[in-house]
Amino acid sequence: MSRRRTSIHEQCRPGTDMAWRNMTRWLAHLEKEGELLRISEPVDVELEAGAIADRLVKSGGKAVIFEKPRLPNGEISEIPLAMNLFGSHDRTLRALGASHPTEVGDRLVALMKPDIGGIVKKPWTGLPLLRDAISMPPKKVWKGSCQRVKMELDVTKLPIPKTWPMDGGRYITLPLVVTKDPKSGEHNLGMYRGQIFGPKEVGLHWQIHKHGADHAAAWPDGKMPVAICIGGPPELIFSAIAPLPDNLEEYMFAGFLGKRRLRITKALTQDLMVPADADVVIEGWVDATKTRTEGPFGDHFGFYSLTGQYPVLNVTAVTRRKNAVLPATIVGQPPMEDGYLGEAIGKQFRPILSFQHRDVLDLHLPLETGFHNLAIVKSKQRYPRQARKTCLGLLGAGQMMFLKILIATDENPSDLESLLDVLNDRVDPNSDITIIEGMVSDSLEPASTFENVHSKLIIDATKLVTADPRSGDPLEGSFVEDCPPWRKGEEDAPGISESLVAEIKELDGVEDALLLRNSMLIVTVEIEGRPDPRTGAQWPNEIDAEAQRNKINQLRNSIWQLDSKNSLRWLFVTDNDLDLHGEGVNRRLLWQLTSRFAVERDFIVENGRIFWDATTPIPSNDGPTPVRRWPAITMHDPETLQSIERFNLPPWPDNLVM
């Protein structure tokens, strides 16, 4: 009897026990599902490809393959370029091979804390754990498919895109950077962007907090071997961005994700093991003591990250698969593909977070805020202020150390409308706000007063437990803490009327106003001399900065005076480049209120009211809190926007800075 041969599509259905194995299988799946757009005419890798991918991801569109990517010298690359491969929640779930948002984390927790009693009674229930354990050690092979074709020693011939007009050059945006600890031999797989400096030089942007920087510091007197791998199975990409514990290598996690051992092979010119099924491998070495100016680069916060000094990879080999495809992404104003990747990782790792931090019931890192700007936390609330303790604990959990704002809630943290409700009904500015000064920040965070350092804001929007001194029924021997009845849930939270909003709209300097909830008002203003969104501002402008401070202070005082009953507890002010009544305003609000805001400079609590300034800061040395150079917003050139109109693409959504 002849055996029926299983097709690629059947082998790669989500929820099966098979890994994607390589990028080709993932692309075949997308094409079968009608989620892949093929563009056969030449498209420039500089600006055009990125603008098309941006428009697709922002409109909920398809993945795209540029079959004839055109290099800056006019040549057509022999390797196709693929973008927006993971640009939806459903697509990322399928790429992970997961059937629900926490499957990966649930499997990891089961492996970390197996149900021994249940397995003893029903031994077959332990088979999935055995399979997961067996899949983790990588499998060494003599030669990988990534080494099938030896290319010319010139990385400029790869279809690497330049996605934004002010980028410092072309960037590898989905790199899998392999480094090795010189003492233990442990490999790390990190995603650090790579700037193409020339045929044999690539800048490596590993920030001071990253494992790549750790490894580089351990090679102070020698050439550190490095490989930049591009493509391969989707589980490799997820492994490179996953917040793994230090004792779990990314290669092991990739095998765990794919439910089969990851194939690795010896690099041709460096003492490293690289993924055997990567599409492209760039090998080389880094002198950790020498750096070069890298950047600027349109980054995931929606701004250009500023230039900095980073090491350079000296290329020694470039190899590829026979039918290689180079995947890339574009990051900038949300929503973006990296946002869907980040949200998926956050949800999948929530069970691990809850395993390590037992008070965490749920967590949401909104893609609109670049992940490091805001975390919404659902916590257990058995004793007073437990949610605040939970938030403090999370600041020590890996890359969550970068968080700027944490909001604790009892409700679904993914529900924005519910979030607005609890901020309105359960936050007393006098007792529910915690500010922690001088903490770790993301190097890419533009609003902080100092690079790598900012203050953090914790907002407690949870219900009061019985033992809380504000509840009116404290523990025996304890005092009662003053608390308004609405905070106890005994009456509706006070607010302002629409007639008062109308008065506020008539104030000098107010462009528009919107009542988000009865005690929450967002006001837009025109700030003279604010940094141009296309260019930013590199140097202090003391005259306009002082005028901005005076205008904001005067506006705040005028609004507070109109609200004589102190019923307006939240006042947000931001620039008039936001349409408060347009479609997508909530998404844009999350981005604008968190990305242009520094806790140490722009957050004031006075007389039971919160003032939140999210206007674009003007660089200044003379104000109460200095403002650094302010970056430009990621925006496409008008010429590029016009050039991509030749393709039948979905329309741009509303409320983008275009």
Evaluate if residue 190 carries a pLDDT over 70.
Answer: yes
381 lies in the same domain as 457:
yes
323 lies in the same domain as 365:
no
User: Is residue 649 one of the residues assigned to a domain?
Assistant: no
Segment 498-517 shows an average pLDDT of 96
Concatenate the DSSP letters of all residues of 21-56 into one string.
-SHHHHHHHHHHTT-EEEE-S-EETBTHHHHHHHHH
Between the two ends of the chain, the Cα-to-Cα distance in Å is 63
Segment 70-84 shows an average pLDDT of 98
Q: Residue 576: beta bridge partners?
A: none
Segment 431-437 shows an average pLDDT of 97
207 lies in the same domain as 157:
yes
Evaluate if residue 599 carries a pLDDT over 60.
Answer: yes
User: Is residue 97 one of the residues assigned to a domain?
Assistant: yes
Contact 20, 239 (CB under 8 A): no
Q: What is the pLDDT of residue 28?
A: 97
The C-alpha R_g of the chain, in whole angstroms, comes to: 26
Distance CA 459, CA 434 (A): 7
Segment 56-78 shows an average pLDDT of 97
The residue among 328, 343, 374 that closes a domain is 328
Question: What percent of the chain clears pLDDT 70, i.e. is strictly above it?
Answer: 97
The residue among 438, 457, 488 that closes a domain is 488
User: Is residue 346 one of the residues assigned to a domain?
Assistant: no
User: Is residue 334 one of the residues assigned to a domain?
Assistant: no
Measured N-to-C along each axis, helices 103-112 and 127-135 cross at an angle, to the nearest 10 degrees, of 100
Q: Residue 282: beta bridge partners?
A: 228, 318
Distance CA 443, CA 299 (A): 11
393 lies in the same domain as 319:
no
Segment 447-452 shows an average pLDDT of 93
429 lies in the same domain as 511:
no
pLDDT digit string, tens, across residues 516-542 = 999 999 999 999 999 999 999 999 999
Helices marked H in 218-370: 234-241, 250-258, 337-348, 350-356
Identify the CATH number of the domain in which residue 427 sits. Answer: 3.40.1670.10
pLDDT digit string, tens, across residues 457-485 = 999 999 999 889 998 876 777 788 999 99
Q: What is the pLDDT of residue 474?
A: 67
User: Is residue 333 one of the residues assigned to a domain?
Assistant: no
Q: How far is CA 199 from CA 154, 170, 325, 653, in A?
A: 4, 12, 20, 38
629 lies in the same domain as 532:
yes
Catalytic residue among 44, 279, 299, 468: 299
146 lies in the same domain as 32:
yes
626 lies in the same domain as 533:
yes
295 lies in the same domain as 416:
no
481 lies in the same domain as 522:
no
142 lies in the same domain as 251:
yes
* Largest Cα–Cα separation, the chain: 88
**Residue listed under structure tokens 């779990």:** 248
412 is in which domain, residue-wise? Answer: 357-488
Evaluate if residue 553 carries a pLDDT over 80.
Answer: yes
Evaluate if residue 286 carries a pLDDT over 70.
Answer: yes
Concatenate the DSSP letters of all residues of 329-388 into one string.
---SSSS-HHHHHHHHHHHHTHHHHHHHSTTEEEEE--GGGTTTSEEEEEE--SSTTHHH
Distance CA 479, CA 476 (A): 9
Q: What is the total residue count of the chain? A: 658
Q: What is the pLDDT of residue 9?
A: 42
213 lies in the same domain as 279:
yes
Q: From the CB of residue 485, how many other CB atoms can be counted at a distance below 10 Å?
A: 12
Q: 91: which 2 tokens?
A: 């697509």
pTM for the structure as a whole: 0.90
More confident residue, 346 or 2: 346
Measured N-to-C along each axis, helices 250-258 and 234-241 cross at an angle, to the nearest 10 degrees, of 130
The residue among 488, 519, 545 that closes a domain is 488
Residue 190 corresponds to which amino acid? G
Q: 7: which 2 tokens?
A: 């097709």
- The total domain count for the chain is 3
User: Is residue 580 one of the residues assigned to a domain?
Assistant: yes
Evaluate if residue 362 carries a pLDDT over 50.
Answer: yes
Q: What is the pLDDT of residue 18?
A: 54
User: Is residue 270 one of the residues assigned to a domain?
Assistant: yes
Identify the CATH number of the domain in which residue 576 sits. Answer: 3.40.1670
Assess whether 299 carries a catalytic annotation: yes
Q: What is the pLDDT of residue 78?
A: 96
User: Is residue 139 one of the residues assigned to a domain?
Assistant: yes
Identify the CATH number of the domain in which residue 223 sits. Answer: 2.30.110.10
